Structure 1
Amino acid sequence: MVKPEDAFRQTGWAGLRARLFHLHFVLRRPMTLGVRGLIHDMASNSIFLIRHTYVPGWQLPGGGVEVGETLAEALARELAEEGNIALTSPPMLKSMHFNRRASRRDHVGFYVIEHFSQTAPKLPDHEIAEACFFPLDRLPEKTTPATLRRIAEVFDGEQPSPYW
């Protein structure tokens, strides 16, 4: 059985030319893509934040999307690595942001997660200095500005910024 998307797949010279153009654009205009997740424990009205060992401030967990990985797969991997958190239902993509502080080509997919489990508290390691849940009314003093903007967009109805 032929898949519907195969009807649009270019083959032969046209397919090779399309792949060469794609390679040219990858080399000429490389772009990075990341994910971040706001994990909301509705029972305690708290959110999960991390503090890295190599950058200051408390922030939402997340990281880069690897080659061949979907945004949702990257998010699930990063949440497991940075917080021992497993998704129990699909996360909700809230917004996309241009992260001009990281580079001129970096974008971040921002997800809201309300259905999850934590297999164990996250212990410090070489990447994560601290990780824990904080009540929304008692966030740590050194929460990053981008994290505070995302929280305001989710809980205070602020208009999502196009910038991270």
Structure 2
Amino acid sequence: MRYARGMAPLNLQSLLNVVRRVHHGMTLGVRVMARDGEGRLLLVRHTYIAGWHFPGGGVDLGETAEAAARRELREEANVEAEGALALAGLFFNPRVGGRDHVALFHAERLAIGPRPARNTEIVAADFFPLDALPDGVSPATARRIAEWRQGLPPADRW
């Protein structure tokens, strides 16, 4: 059997490991609960899903979850998180393929640029007072806000 230099020959166990990894692989997304200096929450509306959500998206190959969270804040809302992000929880998201997870971060020190114009992904991005959240906040976002406001432990599902 010929194989590339430095690679072991493929055997049944390594083939099973590859199949298992593909079949049981996990996807990871991030969301950021970001608050400005007045305590207002940053929410975004996407073009492809209903409701208001925390900024976020998928973690790219070779990217850390925190780096993805920072990138999504910049891309979706023109906001830079200053200092470390705090991991608030890791949630199972059964509605996305049955193996998706969402890492939620908190960010409270922000450098806020001008609100971005509507684009192919984001319809709107803005900060809202806790007592005046917009209509249509997504159920998962509403759950995370309620847990945070009431000091409750986070549920395990997004």
TM-score by length of 2: 0.87
Q: 2:67 is matched with which residue? A: 73
Choose the corresponding residue for 1:64, options 58, 67, 77.
58
Please, which runs of 5 or more residues in structure 1 have no aligned partner? 1-10
2:39 corresponds to 1:45: yes
Q: Which amino acid aligns with 2:85?
A: P
Q: Distance in 2 between matches of 1:17 and 1:157?
A: 50
Choose the corresponding residue for 2:81, options 83, 87, 91.
87
Q: Which amino acid aligns with 1:107?
A: H
CA contact (8 A) 1:122 1:132 kept: no
Q: Name the stretch that deviates more: 118-127 or 139-148.
A: 118-127
Shift of residue 54, structure 1, vs aligned partner: 1.1
Please give the root-mean-square deviation of Cα atoms over the aligned residues, in Å: 2.1
Q: Which amino acid aligns with 2:72?
A: E
Aligned 1:108-147 pairs, distance under 5 A: 108-147=102-141
Please, which runs of 5 or more residues in structure 2 have no aligned partner? 1-5
List per-residue Cα deviations over 1:13-71 (Å, max 9, x = no partner). 6xx99976653332121211000000011x32210000001111001000001111100
Q: Distance in 2 between matches of 1:23 and 1:67?
A: 17
Q: Distance in 1 between matches of 2:13 and 2:31?
A: 32
2:145 corresponds to 1:151: yes
Shift of residue 107, structure 1, vs aligned partner: 0.2
Q: Give SS of 1:93's match.
A: strand
Q: Distance in 2 between matches of 1:146 and 1:67?
A: 25
Q: Distance in 2 between matches of 1:19 and 1:49?
A: 44
Q: 2:24 is matched with which residue? A: 29
Q: Give SS of 1:154's match.
A: helix
Q: Distance in 2 between matches of 1:80 and 1:29?
A: 31
CA contact (8 A) 1:37 1:110 kept: yes
Q: Give SS of 2:132's match.
A: coil
Distance 1:136 1:17, change over 3 A: farther
Percent identity between the two aligned chains: 40
Shift of residue 118, structure 1, vs aligned partner: 1.5
Q: 2:3 is matched with which residue? A: none
Q: Name the stretch that deviates more: 121-130 or 24-33.
A: 24-33
